[in-house]
Structures are given as C-alpha cells and as structure tokens.
Amino acid sequence: MTRKTLGYVKLIWHCPNCGSRNPGPQKICSNCGTPQPDNVKFEQLPQAELITDAAEIAQAKAGPDVHCYYCGSRNPATAKVCSQCGADLTQATARESGQILGTLQSGPAQPIECPACGTPNDPNAAKCIQCGAALTEPQPAAPLPVAAPAPAQKGQFPLFAIIIGVAMLALIGGCIFFLVLSTRTTDLTGQVESVAWTRRVLVQELVPISGQDWRDQLPPGAVVGSCSERQRGSERQDTGQTREVCGTPYTVDTGSGFGEVRQDCETEPIYEESPVYADYCSFTATVWQTVPGPTLTGTDLNAAWPQANLLGPNQREAGREESYEVVFKTDGKAYTYSTTDFNEFQQFQIGSRWTLKVNSFDVVTSVEPPQ
Ligand SMILES: [Zn+2]
Ligand SMILES: [Zn+2]
Ligand SMILES: [Zn+2]
C-alpha cells in the first residue's frame, strides 16, 4: 500500500468560551480573545479546499504547534520563545497530531445561518457578512474519527452471521430428526405370504457411431475426419501491467491548524481474458453400448440366471443384477422387504414367521428370526 499526500486544507477550531468558529492557524479567538487551549481540537471545514499559498503550506508541513509550559499559549513549531510570555519553548508540549478527522469534505456544503440576524453565510465563513456576529453553528456531520481508507461495515456482520447460524441449526436439526425417525424401529411379527425374484444379465454390443467433438474428447480408437479450430473457452492472463486503485481521501490533523489530505492506494495487476482455441473434429468409431439383456423372474425361492446368448465377438457380458422381494403379513397389514442377498432370500419359506424391524416411515429395515 502506498500513502499519498494530496495536499493540505485549513482546519477550524471552536472557542470553548464563546462557541465561535475560528480558522485553524489562528491562535486566539477572534470574537472574545480567548487563547486556544491544548485540549480544544481542530475540525474540518464543511467545504474543504486544498491550500495553494506557499507560506501556509510551509506552516502545515512544519509539524504540530506547541503550547508554552508556562502560560499555555499556542506557538508555531518553529518558535524558540513564547510570543505571549517570552518563556523558552524547548520544554513546550507539542499538540496532538496524526488523528484522522474524517473523509475529505470536498463537496458543496449547506450555507450557515447567522445566529444573530439569520443571514445565510458561506459554509466556511467565520463571521456574518451582514452583522459581523460570530458564527456558532452546532457542528454538522463528520468530525468523529472515521476509519480512513475503507470504512468496514462491521454493523452488518452480526445480523448476517445470525441468519446463517439459524439456517445451519435448522438444517442440522432437520437431519438429526430424519435420522432418528429412520433409525428408530418397532418390532412386528410377520408371516411370509409371497416371494418374488428378478435376475438380469447385462449385455453390451459394439455399435458404430459418428459425430463431432474436441480432439482430446474422442472415444478410443476413433477415426478422425475433418477438424477445424474453434474457441473452446477463455483464459485469464496477467498482462504484466498494473493499475492503481485508491481509497477515499481523508484528512489528518497535523497539529498546526492545517490538515494533511491523504489517500491510500494499492497497486493491482491487470488481467486480460484471452480466447483459447482447440481442434473440433468429426469422427467415426465403434463403441460398447448397453442393450437390453435377458431377464428371468419367478415367484419361488429357486432363482436362476438367464442364458446370456452372446452373438459373437461384437457382444459381451457386462455384469449381472439380482433383486428379491418378500411380502410379510402382520396384523391386518402387508410389508414388502427387498434385498439383493440371495442367501438371505432363500430362508424365507412361505408361511415362516419372522420379526420385522419397521421404522417411522413404515419401511422394513431388517428381518430377524423370531425370538
Ligand atoms: Zn471566543
Ligand atoms: Zn507563554
Ligand atoms: Zn448576522
């Protein structure tokens, strides 16, 4: 991060005795003659402009003014002896400096109304142009120290976090509720009423296909036809160049009655989207495709596999599937239990009695021999 000084602005202070607004560099209230005490802080003008006067800029850069240890008078940083009492200023206390006074008030501000005659005055004026009364406005907006470069909106975070938190809790609660309902079971006694089985051989067949695709996506063994270059996507590239991104200018108290206008900037790399090209090709190929294979079903416990009946080397077996169902009859209600375990299936003789574990969704989760 680089910190830049954009220039300097005149500040103001308010007289603690009469409330008048005084220009920052002025050390004594122009209305009542009270010297500015060291605890009366500088504030921004409602409508700040960078100063151009060389002498004022030099004053702004000289460092914080000092307060005489003997009489308390404010003196410039460069002074050797107090202008009020002549005391040596090597022991003097420097005014506080470096505080951020807020973002630079560079926009046009509201006119300030004279408390004595009601005349609207220039927002930066110290005295009424009509009657000469001191302008003692209640200070509008800003002099609170604002977090300078990018004020973080901390206030919004907790509400956002609470909403997310509540949503997460609801989700976790829902999952636990579902888990409890599906694992909590009731024991029922059931009698096997009927059984059924299905067995299937999966068959794949070599079939010719043709189409178009990216060269690196073609099926293995494909015969490539014509290809052309096409844009496939884009890529973010570092151009090697940079740009500067700067925050809002803000004013810092220099302790001299002038504010330093600063701006914090970051250097960012500049990226560029550039298209990525690749070969798009037409092709022909032969690929394995799954075709409906032979299926056998039955309603007894003697399940058997169907014949695959492969037609030469262009067909192959690609696996087997089996599923079994048992219908149990309980007190007035029938439950269907499904399994893929043939050994388990074979135990369910028609008319035999078993203990069924049924969960809250009325699903049989397991079947055990009767106790
Ligand atoms: Zn005063
Ligand atoms: Zn003094
Ligand atoms: Zn007036």
Check residue 141 and give its pLDDT.
43
CB atoms within 5 A of ion ligand 1 belong to 15, 17-18, 20, 29, 31-32, 34
Q: Which two tokens stand for residue 138?
A: 């209640």
Residue 107: name the closest of 147, 47, 181, 30 by CA.
Answer: 47
DSSP string, 7-72: EEEEEEEE-TTT--EEETT--B-TTT-PBPPTTS--EE-SS--B---HHHHHHHHT---EE-TTT-
CA of 38 to the centre of ligand 2 (A): 13
Check residue 136 and give its pLDDT.
74
d(CA 65, CA 68): 10
Nearest-ligand number for the alpha carbon of 118: 3
Q: Tell me: the pLDDT tens digits for 93-147? A: 999 999 999 999 878 888 888 888 999 998 888 888 999 888 875 544 444 444 4
CA of 218 to the centre of ligand 1 (A): 88
CA of 49 to the centre of ligand 1 (A): 25
What is the average pLDDT across 218-231? Answer: 94
What mean pLDDT value characterizes the chain? 89
CA dihedral 12, 15, 18, 21 (to 10 degrees): 0
Q: Is residue 257 a contact partner of residue 272, using CB atoms and an 8 Å limit?
A: no
What is the average pLDDT across 88-93? Answer: 91
d(CA 43, CA 258): 9
- The DSSP symbol for 339 reads E
> What are 216-219's contacts with CB under 8 Å, separation 24+?
216/278, 218/281, 218/283, 218/285, 219/283, 219/285, 219/287
> Domain spans of the chain?
195-368
CA of 14 to the centre of ligand 1 (A): 8
Q: Tell me: the pLDDT tens digits for 298-336? A: 999 999 999 988 888 889 998 999 999 999 999 889 999
CA of 92 to the centre of ligand 2 (A): 9
Check residue 137 and give its pLDDT.
57
Residue 231, pLDDT > 90, answer: yes
Q: Is the pTM of this model over 0.95?
A: no
